[in-house]
Structure 1
Amino acid sequence: MGLPQIHRLKSWRDFRVVYKQGISRHSKHLILRALSAKFSGEQEAPVSPSRIGVSIGKKVSKKAVVRNRIKRQINGAFLELRPRILDSWKIVVVVKPTAVECKYDHILRELEELLKKTKIINGY
């Protein structure tokens, strides 16, 4: 089961805004770029769900099977962390080539740490 449509960041315009205006945090295997709706200058509803997009290039792996597996793992980790994530954030996760060796648990832990660094998770 994947992410619901409401939690997906799909438009290239949204990705571009997050890249230009968002904050960036990185770890060994992932780069997290995030932008709060209140800082993006958009006229959104005060409480909109956070949305996530995953960017993974062919430098990570030439095989689409490997890239899609990593994307599914990141989406699954976000699905698990979603109840703790604050609303109105646009999040882009960029995958580094070293992520090929990662298992789901490691990606979950690393994504949670990046969200804590960015103060997107409730209570931090």
Structure 2
Amino acid sequence: MALPKAHRLKSRHDFQAVFREGIRRHSSHFTLRALKPAVATEPSLDTASPTANYASTKIGISISTKVSKRAVVRNLIKRRITAAFYQLLPKLAPGWRLVVIVKPTAAESKCGSQQFLQELEQLLAQAEVLNGHS
């Protein structure tokens, strides 16, 4: 299950913006960097983009070779995180830009997708990215 293209953070510029300005939340296996959507303080005269404030949340995953030298292991972890986010997409508030940084402990512990899901949900709630901040 891949994330829909509308929800993928792709460009280097976007990743750098999240790292530079985003808030940080930590757990045992991940660090979440989250950049809040820009809220227009005054009514904009630009009528071409009335849905600019309601853009879809974009998600990026950063996993270095420090986590594991083997690409197979890194890709497995990425797929598990992607599957967890796929389940969480309906709960996410619109407009956020998120980067999940995987810590080396994720490869060492043999935790499954369910634990990743719980941990990511907890991080997203701490960062107030989830609708209702459950």
Larger radius of gyration: 2
1:106 maps to which of 89, 111, 115 = 115
| Structure 1 portions without partners, runs of 5+ | none
1:31 aligns with 2:46: no
CA deviations on 1:26-65 (whole Å, 9 max, x unpaired) are 00000000001216xxx98111000100000000000000
Residue 84 of structure 2 corresponds to 77
Residue 118 of structure 1 corresponds to 127
TM-score normalized by structure 1?
A: 0.94
Q: How many equivalent residue pairs?
A: 121
CA deviations on 1:83-124 (whole Å, 9 max, x unpaired) are 000000000000000001221111100000000000110112
Residue 65 of structure 2 corresponds to 58
1:90 aligns with 2:69: no
Question: What is the identity percentage for the equivalent residue pairs of Structure 1 and Structure 2?
Answer: 50
| Structure 2 portions without partners, runs of 5+ | 40-48
CA distance in 2, matches of 1:120, 1:45: 18
SS in structure 2 at match of 1:38: coil
CA distance in 2, matches of 1:37, 1:120: 10
SS in structure 2 at match of 1:92: strand
Q: 4+ runs of 1 displaced by more than 3 Å?
A: none
Bigger fraction of residues in helix? 1
TM-score normalized by structure 2?
A: 0.87
Q: Please report the RMSD computed on the Cα atoms of aligned residues, expressed in angstroms.
A: 1.3
CA distance in 2, matches of 1:25, 1:99: 16
SS in structure 2 at match of 1:62: coil
State the AA in 2 paired with 1:97: P
State the AA in 2 paired with 1:30: F
